[in-house]
Chains A and B, each alone.
Chain A
Amino acid sequence: MLTVLIFIPVFGALIIPFLRNNQKYIKYWALAITCFELLLSVFMLINFDLSKNGYQFVENYEWIPSLGISYHLGVDGLSLPLVFLTTLLFVCAVSISMSINTRVAEYFFWFLILETSVLGVFISLDLVLFFIFWEIELIPMYFIISVWGSGRKEYSAMKFVIYTLFGSAFMLVGLLITGLSIGSFNIEELSNITLTSDNFLISPVYVFIMFFVAFAIKLPSWPLHSWLPDAHTDAPTAGSVILAGVLIKMGGYGIIRICVQIFQQEAKDLSLLLVFLGAFSLIYGAIITFRQTDIKKLIAFSSVSHMGIVLLGISAYKSNNPDVASFGLEGAALQMFTHGTITGLLFLSIGLIYDRLHTREITQLQGLVYKAPTISLFFVIASMASLGLPGLSGFVAEITVFMAAFAVWNWFTVISVFSIVLTAGYMLWLVQRVIFGDHIGDEKNLQKLSTYEYIPALLLVASIIVLGVYPSIIFEFFEQSVTAFVNNTIGV
């Protein structure tokens, strides 16, 4: 099942060269593959047994026995929603790419490879396998940014790759040390072992930091975030959607899955670092947005800020109260999920605007509501969700995280909560400048949205509203994974 899930996109990608360079066929083929993936993940969501603990749909085969590496896949309540998010956003990304007309075959080829690697990261239960998928993701993204991007695309693409590789260098060392000390790369097994300096080559704290650096770069957290605004700004629309929607979630997922679940004690000892980085990113990202003139860059910095919330939620794991700890982790996971859909929608509507007006400068975009009411509607919904309007999904995640974090870190949380004001400030200001105001220019009849542009936007709006009103559909999944883990480690 999971093998099918991750290898169908590769299969689809390998078929593309045989489609005779017919743009129409290639586009429909890619869309069909991603839709199939979405259906598959929905099927898994339905068939997932919430009453059982641990991983499901597990597949485990020996791969390289001499190093103890196995081909080990499985999902639990933490990864399955992220798998769903990935497949959903890839449908959106491919769907809005229907208007691409340069080097179509390669474009969809790389997107399908990218889907495989991201899914692989979320469902591998072997550290080396995890690392392999983590690395494979770089090459497609490098090409997507550097070929179909805009602006300083080559610089941004290279920066993205070097930053991530730098992080994964540390991760590789960390995982080799872990594997050699414990004698296993199995994530499930490692999370059940108490790591001490006695059974470790070097103190596990250093290994924790090695992993954390890799994930913090991906997340991204201040001060390792500087690749993100460049990569986001210069990537093509679908690339930004995927980058913001799922790629940076790999960082958050990695922190929860590896840093917290394997290095439990170290995660507690160093939670001051996590909360500091989280709170700082939160405020710093929010403040920096005020100076941005490019909408995409502004949203990119708001991502830095929102990912601070994830770190804040994770830092609540320090608590001795299992309810608080699990609430924090669940909030962090929910924040990742909702941020994926919200930012996906934001980048999507910015892409639609850019396709029609060929500018992303805030000053040149006044009065969009008169020219393009539908796009404006989508944009406003997304920004309201982003600033945490109750009833939309962003609010639920933020309030959960802040509640959990407040129980552990009073002052940090009090400071962090001010970011809500900042976020509301820059988002409303952005909406006011871009959507409303006197309308300038005389293009009256902007091109109407095509079906392929409507569908992804509506899908994302639907998920934002549904999660805002009834978050427990997804919360149940997180509870299945996190509550059991927290109860095991903290004890009731």
Chain B
Amino acid sequence: MDVADLIYIGSEIIVAVTATLTLLMGIFSGRYIIVKIVSLLGILSGLIYAVGLWFVSTSYVFYNTIHANQLSVFFKILVLVTLLLVITGSYDYSKYFGKLRVEYLSLMMYSSVGMMLLPASNDFITAYISLELIALPLVAVIAMTKEEYSIEASLKFLIFSAISSAFLLYGIVLLYGFSGSTNFEVIAHILSNTNLDSNISIVLIAILFILGGVGFKVGIVPFYMWIPDVYEGAPTPVVAFLSIASKSVGFALLIKVFLIAYEFADWTFTISIIAALTMIVGNAGALLQDNAKRLLGYSGIAHAGYILIGIACFSQIGTSTGQVAVIFYLLTYAFTNIAAFYSLMNISLSTNSYSIQSYSGAFFNNKFASIVLMISFLSLIGLPPTSGFLGKLYLFNAAIKSELIWLVLFGVINSVFSAYYYLKVIKTLFDSDIEIIKYQTSRSYSLNIVLICALLGVLILGVYPDPFLRLLETSLSS
């Protein structure tokens, strides 16, 4: 190992140091706002560092366990932008954390360090450790409001994380047993150069176990059960973070795994079936929800299904189109979900409820948040001119290129049905038929700034996505 290797994990180091610093400051200094500004500055400098890293050439560092390329930098930036928005916007929410609000900041940062490492990892051990680093701080943060339901959510999250880790480890062990290595590229090399005839079933089972392990994180059928409960119980900023950053890096790992897996078997059919089931389960579950966060939980499952379409078409068209589609979708989904969760939170800070009923007539109390909520839901349906539409267009385009027409039809019809429950919420916001209860809306500038940023993200990616797409394509070709 070379000391110079450290530059490739500079953002991780900056964020981890800031997290520790925040923790210490929380002990010695009473002013929350100062602690918060320090942590935001730390994240910001990590972000700036990551942007700088974009221009550094690709290399393998730390004994080949980390592959620092533009794609991993892209995910770093995505995670840090999400973290920045999530933390900035949660100033008002942190009243629910009581004395633990400093710990909330530092735990979120620790978790994001794991998220930044995961897409860069080139080795199953690194990937596994990153996944644990993501999950364990989140377990604590989810329970942070100390309400009964949030502790329940936290326990569920812990148990399911443990199970998924077990799945993942078992898959890794099988692969290791077969290839004698945990390094992605060594495994890929061995698998594609060996005659697998007699051992194919072991390798297939290994990949399925890994798919299961990561599937827990991103919430695909049949490993989605924890999502609605955890989303309902966990603090809203944490849910936003979980649903975006955690899911995105989970998919980053899935992309890596399947880049290997497609080398020796055609996974199109398996993944297509899982994608179709995931979409159906997500949308069918969401139809019946009366809690907005649960609804977004099921909608997140459905969206994981759409994203899987992109992975299903890896083999036929070369991997690049599918990858661009998946990553662009994750990008649009990040902004959309931040907008959705934070506008929900903005309204709920006044009403103290997330039941869909409690949003009726919200437009007349809190116009800005309602408009953001409407646009983000339109983006989740996939209606133009929001970014959700272009994200779907890209995915479906990639899938049609690989002749998965049935899957695309399935996907679009699913999004038609999803329109029903999203529109019901939108309708509730603008409902004036019932008597409207006036309430004091919280005037939170930091929250509104975050909403504006997310809204701009949703609209700009929907109207002028070309620069981002070009960046993505160059980062993949490097």
- Residues of chain A having any CB pair with chain B under 8 Å: 63-67, 102-103, 106, 128, 131-132, 135-136, 138-139, 142-143, 146-147, 154, 158, 161-162, 165-166, 169-170, 172-173, 176-177, 179-180, 201-202
B413 touching A180, Cβ below 8 Å: no
A136 touching B396, Cβ below 8 Å: no
A176 touching B400, Cβ below 8 Å: yes
B413 touching A166, Cβ below 8 Å: yes
30 CB-based A-B contacts, threshold 8 Å: A64-B469, A67-B393, A102-B432, A103-B432, A128-B393, A131-B384, A135-B389, A136-B383, A139-B378, A139-B383, A143-B430, A147-B432, A158-B423, A161-B419, A162-B416, A162-B419, A165-B415, A165-B419, A166-B413, A169-B413, A170-B412, A172-B412, A173-B396, A173-B405, A173-B412, A176-B397, A180-B397, A180-B401, A201-B405, A202-B405
CB within 8 A of B408: which of A146, A161, A165, A176? Answer: A176
A201 touching B403, Cβ below 8 Å: yes
Q: For A143, what are the chain B residues with a Cβ–Cβ distance below 8 Å?
A: 430
B394 touching A166, Cβ below 8 Å: no
Q: Please report the C-alpha to C-alpha distance between residue A64 and residue B389 in the assembled complex, in whole angstroms.
A: 13
Kindly report which residue of chain A lies nearest to residue B472, judged by CB atoms. A66
Given A67-B394, A67-B397, A165-B419 in contact, is the A135-B384 Cβ separation under 8 Å?
A: yes
Interface SS, A side: helix
| B318 CB → nearest A CB, Å | 15
Residue among A67, A158, A169, A179 facing the most chain B CB atoms (10 A cut-off): A169
In the complex, besides A106-B430, A158-B424, A177-B400, 14 extra interface pairs with C-beta distance below 8 angstroms are A65-B466, A66-B470, A128-B393, A132-B384, A136-B383, A139-B383, A142-B423, A143-B430, A158-B423, A169-B416, A172-B393, A173-B408, A176-B393, A180-B401
| B41 CB → nearest A CB, Å | 35
Given A136-B383, A161-B423, A201-B405 in contact, is the A176-B396 Cβ separation under 8 Å?
A: yes
| A9 CB → nearest B CB, Å | 14
Q: For B385, what are the chain A residues with a Cβ–Cβ distance below 8 Å?
A: 132, 136
Residue among A63, A65, A66, A158 facing the most chain B CB atoms (10 A cut-off): A66
Kindly report which residue of chain B lies nearest to residue A171, judged by CB atoms. B412
Q: Please report the C-alpha to C-alpha distance between residue A172 and residue B415 in the assembled complex, in whole angstroms.
A: 12
Q: For A202, what are the chain B residues with a Cβ–Cβ distance below 8 Å?
A: 405
| A213 CB → nearest B CB, Å | 11
Task: Give 4 closest A-B pairs by Cβ, nearest first.
Answer: A169-B412, A132-B384, A165-B416, A176-B400
Q: Please report the C-alpha to C-alpha distance between residue A169 and residue B410 in the assembled complex, in whole angstroms.
A: 9
Q: Please report the C-alpha to C-alpha distance between residue A67 and residue B396 in the assembled complex, in whole angstroms.
A: 12
| B386 CB → nearest A CB, Å | 10
Q: Please report the C-alpha to C-alpha distance between residue A299 and residue B473 in the assembled complex, in whole angstroms.
A: 54
| B421 CB → nearest A CB, Å | 11
Q: For A139, what are the chain B residues with a Cβ–Cβ distance below 8 Å?
A: 378, 383
Q: For A63, what are the chain B residues with a Cβ–Cβ distance below 8 Å?
A: 466
Q: Please report the C-alpha to C-alpha distance between residue A132 and residue B392 in the assembled complex, in whole angstroms.
A: 13
Q: Please report the C-alpha to C-alpha distance between residue A314 and residue B419 in the assembled complex, in whole angstroms.
A: 33
Q: Please report the C-alpha to C-alpha distance between residue A284 and residue B430 in the assembled complex, in whole angstroms.
A: 38
- Give B274-312 as 1s and 0s: 1 = Cβ < 8 Å from A's Cβ atoms: 000000000000000000000000000000000000000
Q: For A162, what are the chain B residues with a Cβ–Cβ distance below 8 Å?
A: 416-417, 419-420
| A188 CB → nearest B CB, Å | 21
Q: Please report the C-alpha to C-alpha distance between residue A166 and residue B424 in the assembled complex, in whole angstroms.
A: 17
CB within 8 A of A169: which of B378, B415, B432, B473? Answer: B415
B469 touching A66, Cβ below 8 Å: yes
B409 touching A173, Cβ below 8 Å: yes
Q: Please report the C-alpha to C-alpha distance between residue A173 and residue B404 in the assembled complex, in whole angstroms.
A: 11
Q: For A170, what are the chain B residues with a Cβ–Cβ distance below 8 Å?
A: 409, 412
CB within 8 A of B383: which of A67, A135, A154, A176? Answer: A135
Q: Please report the C-alpha to C-alpha distance between residue A63 and residue B385 in the assembled complex, in whole angstroms.
A: 13
Q: Is B427 an interface residue (CB 8 A)?
A: yes
B401 touching A158, Cβ below 8 Å: no
CB within 8 A of B416: which of A146, A154, A166? Answer: A166
| A346 CB → nearest B CB, Å | 29
Q: Please report the C-alpha to C-alpha distance between residue A202 and residue B416 in the assembled complex, in whole angstroms.
A: 23
Q: For B383, what are the chain A residues with a Cβ–Cβ distance below 8 Å?
A: 135-136, 138-139
| B476 CB → nearest A CB, Å | 12
| B390 CB → nearest A CB, Å | 8
Q: Please report the C-alpha to C-alpha distance between residue A445 and residue B400 in the assembled complex, in whole angstroms.
A: 64
Q: Please report the C-alpha to C-alpha distance between residue A415 and residue B461 in the assembled complex, in whole angstroms.
A: 53
